[in-house]
Amino acid sequence: MPVLQAEQLKKIGTEIFVAAGASVKEAKMVSEFLVKSNLAGHDSHGVIRIIQYVKEIEDGLIKPGAKIEVVRETESTALLNGNWGFGQVVAKEAMEMAIEKARDKAASVVCAFNCNHVGRLADYTEMALTNDMIGIAMVNSVKGVAPYGGADRMLSTGPISYAFPTGTEIPFVLDIATSVAAEGKLRVTLSKGGKLQEGWIIDKEGYSSVNPEDFYNGGALLPLGGDTAGHKGFGLGLVVDVLSGILSRAGCAYQGEKKGNGVFFEVMDIQSFVPLEEFKAQMSSLIRAIKSSRVRPGFKEIMFPGEPEVKTERVRLREGIYVPEKTWEEIGKIAKKLGVNISDPIRETNNFHKEQL
């Protein structure tokens, strides 16, 4: 089991992207975002994406150095054409613009199209909260989710993120798919050979299934809420598709030709409503109250959004990041092909930090 320190992985990612044609600045930025996802425990958005991104650069899908164009702009809004640069580069610029506009105008919205995979939404909404603002983000992507009552893929998993400063060590950062589960979880179950929970997916005929293969054979994910309340997840998924697909001009998930992410970012300045210290004090009281709630039978602890990620990050900063053998091998091959000399990882054979797996 290869185990690497965050800094090692950032260096490796940066060198590979530079060798693949990116500028040092871009390469470093993208690598940092990927490693941040690993640290947070979301390995599906971590260094495993190096493999995808290098291939996309080779295929001309990601265009390193692409110039971001401002297509429309007001004092409080902007629409960006990412011209198919790295998604992270486009998204970071979009959020920076939104933050600057919210500083002046209290509420701002910035959308982007022609944008590749941006990674985890939480990384962008967190940029707002470190500026003592509220960050909101939505993106759409390729279709994989059925409408409530429908059998065909029509929507993407359409994640939504909200981030609020809390005045404590752990900020409030929600980052959730509007489907009942993210596609990455299906892939993990498939590779382990297990069964899914009832209510996650349907097969290609629209029947409920617990076999992850049925998803990849023309089935679909179900919207958040399942058979009882799936109209809610479906409705939220549509909202994401409209704001990040239509308002952003990126296109909707159902449109077959869709690729990359449509981006919708919003920022609000807290002090236009309530003094910052009061907001933070109220946030920490709310979190304290919630966490002091009695725990239900079958549960261990009440965690608020963002808390699991910070806890995982603390462990991984200390103990390193576990990279699956197959991922590490593929990264090694890419490095070799591009003439990048990558450092050897530590190898652990015992049940090293099990909580990472």
**Which parts of 215-234 interact with a copy of itself (CB under 8 A)?**
224-226, 228-229, 231-234
User: Between residues 162 and 215, which has the closer beta carbon with respect to a copy of itself?
Assistant: 162
Dist CA 161 CA 309 (whole Å): 14
| Shortest reach from residue 313's CB to a copy of itself, in Å | 18
Instruction: Tell the smallest beta-carbon distance from residue 293 to a copy of itself (Å).
Output: 4
| CB closer to a copy of itself, 7 vs 198 | 198
Among 63, 103, 105, 353, binds a copy of itself (CB under 8 A): 105
Give whichever of 35 and 177 is closer to a copy of itself, judged by the CB atom.
Answer: 177
Rounded to the nearest 5 degrees, what angle is found at the Cα of 265, between the Cα atoms of 261 and 267?
165
User: What single string gives the DSSP state of each residue in 64-122?
Assistant: TTPPPEEEEE-SSEEEEE-TT--HHHHHHHHHHHHHHHHHHHSEEEEEEES------TH
Q: Rounded CA gap, 173 and 25, in Å?
A: 27
Binding characters for a copy of itself, 68-87, by CB under 8 A (x = yes):
----x-xxxx-x--------
Asked if 199 touches a copy of itself (CB under 8 A), the answer is yes
Torsion-angle region of residue 166: left (phi > 0), alpha (psi -120 to 50) or beta? alpha
Stretch that binds a copy of itself, among 8-16, 118-126, 168-176, 331-339 (CB under 8 A): 168-176
| Binding piece for a copy of itself, criterion CB under 8 A, among 62-70, 119-127, 143-151, 349-357 | 143-151
Residue in this structure with the two tokens 């980052």, named with its chain if needed: 175
Q: Is 202 one of the binding residues for a copy of itself (CB under 8 A)?
A: yes
**Site size for a copy of itself (CB under 8 A):** 84
Q: In the window 294-313, what residues touch a copy of itself (CB under 8 A)?
A: 294-297, 299-305
Question: Segment contacting a copy of itself (CB under 8 A): 186-194, 245-253, 329-337, 341-349?
Answer: 245-253
Which residue in 19, 107, 276, 338 binds a copy of itself (CB under 8 A)?
A: 107
Q: Any idea what DSSP says for residue 147?
A: P
Q: Output 118 or 270, the one with its CB closest to a copy of itself.
A: 270
Q: Which of residues 3-22 bind a copy of itself (CB under 8 A)?
A: none
Tell me the C-alpha distance between 16 and 51, whole Å. Answer: 10
Tally of CB atoms within 10 A around 354: 8
Q: Are 217 and 118 a contacting pair, CB within 8 Å?
A: no
CB 334 within 8 A of CB 16: yes
DSSP helix/strand/coil, 268? strand
Among 51, 61, 190, 268, binds a copy of itself (CB under 8 A): 268
Question: Helix, strand or coil for residue 59?
Answer: coil
- What lies within 8 Å, CB to CB, of 291 at 6+ separation is 302, 304
Q: Is 180 in the site for a copy of itself (CB under 8 A)?
A: yes
Q: Which is nearer to a copy of itself, 201 or 342 (CB)?
A: 201
Alpha-carbon distance of 13 to 28, in angstroms, equals 8
Least spacing, CB of residue 345 vs a copy of itself, in Å: 32
For residue 43, give the nearest of 324, 342, 331 by alpha carbon: 324
Residue 109 as a binder of a copy of itself (CB under 8 A): the answer is yes
Q: Binding mask 44-73 vs a copy of itself (x if CB under 8 A, - otherwise)?
A: ----------------------------x-
Q: Which of 186, 266, 331, 334 binds a copy of itself (CB under 8 A)?
A: 266
Q: Give, in order, the Cα–Cα distances in Å from 269 to each of 185, 209, 276.
A: 35, 45, 9
Q: How far is the CB of 114 from a copy of itself (least distance, A)?
A: 14
Name which of 3 and 250 has its Cβ closer to a copy of itself. Answer: 250
265 contributes a contact to a copy of itself by CB under 8 A: no
